[in-house]
Amino acid sequence: MADGKPFLSVYGHVTIDQIVSIERFPEMNESVDVISKNTTLGGTGTNIATAAATLGVPTAICAFVGDDFPAKYESRMRDSGLIMDEMIKVGEYETSQALVINDLEMRQKVIFYQGPQGSASKLNNLLTKNASSSRYVHFCTGDPAYYISVMENISGSNAMVSLDPAQEIYKMWNTEKIKNALEFSDALFCNNYEAKVIERHLGIKSVLDIEKDLVVCTEGEDGSVAKIGGEIIRIPVIKGKAVKDATGAGDAYRAGFYCGRYKGYDVRESLVLASATSSFVVEEVGALTNLPTWDSVLERADRYL
| Average pLDDT value for residue range 297-304 | 92
Total domain count, the chain: 1
Please count the other Cβ atoms lying within 10 Å of the Cβ belonging to residue 41.
22
Domain assignment present for residue 67? The answer is: yes
Domain assignment present for residue 240? The answer is: yes
Q: Is the pLDDT of residue 95 over 60?
A: yes
* Per-residue confidence (pLDDT) for residue 19, from 0 to 100: 87
Extract the runs of DSSP E, i.e. beta strands, from 176-271: 187-191, 214-218, 224-228, 231-235
* Per-residue confidence (pLDDT) for residue 291, from 0 to 100: 85
| Average pLDDT value for residue range 198-220 | 96
Q: Are 117 and 125 a contacting pair, CB within 8 Å?
A: no
* Per-residue confidence (pLDDT) for residue 245, from 0 to 100: 61
* Per-residue confidence (pLDDT) for residue 7, from 0 to 100: 98
* Per-residue confidence (pLDDT) for residue 146, from 0 to 100: 98
Angle CA(129)–CA(43)–CA(68) in degrees, nearest 5? 80
Domain assignment present for residue 1? The answer is: no
Domain around 234: 8-26+33-304
For 60-78, write each residue's pLDDT tens digit. Answer: 999 999 999 999 999 999 9
Domain assignment present for residue 200? The answer is: yes
Residue 2: pLDDT band (50, 70, 90) is low
Domain assignment present for residue 3? The answer is: no
Q: Are 131 and 150 a contacting pair, CB within 8 Å?
A: yes
Residue 178: pLDDT band (50, 70, 90) is very high
Q: Is 44 exposed, middle or buried (0-12, 13-18, 19+ CB in 10 A)?
A: buried
Gap between the Cα atoms of 64 and 119, Å rounded:
10
- In this structure, are strands 15-22 and 96-102 parallel, antiparallel, or unpaired? parallel
CATH code assigned at 110: 3.40.1190.20
Domain assignment present for residue 64? The answer is: yes
Domain assignment present for residue 211? The answer is: yes
- In this structure, are strands 214-218 and 224-228 parallel, antiparallel, or unpaired? antiparallel
Domain assignment present for residue 90? The answer is: yes
Which is it for the CA torsion 77, 78, 84, 88, positive or negative? positive
Beta carbons within 8 Å of 305's beta carbon, 6+ residues apart: 269, 272, 273
Q: Which helix (H) or strand (E) holds 102?
A: strand 96-102
For 110-162, write each residue's pLDDT tens digit. Answer: 899 999 999 999 999 999 999 999 999 999 999 999 999 999 999 989 999 99
* Per-residue confidence (pLDDT) for residue 1, from 0 to 100: 47
* Per-residue confidence (pLDDT) for residue 282, from 0 to 100: 78
Strands of the sheet with 15-22, listed across from one edge: 34-42, 15-22, 96-102, 108-113
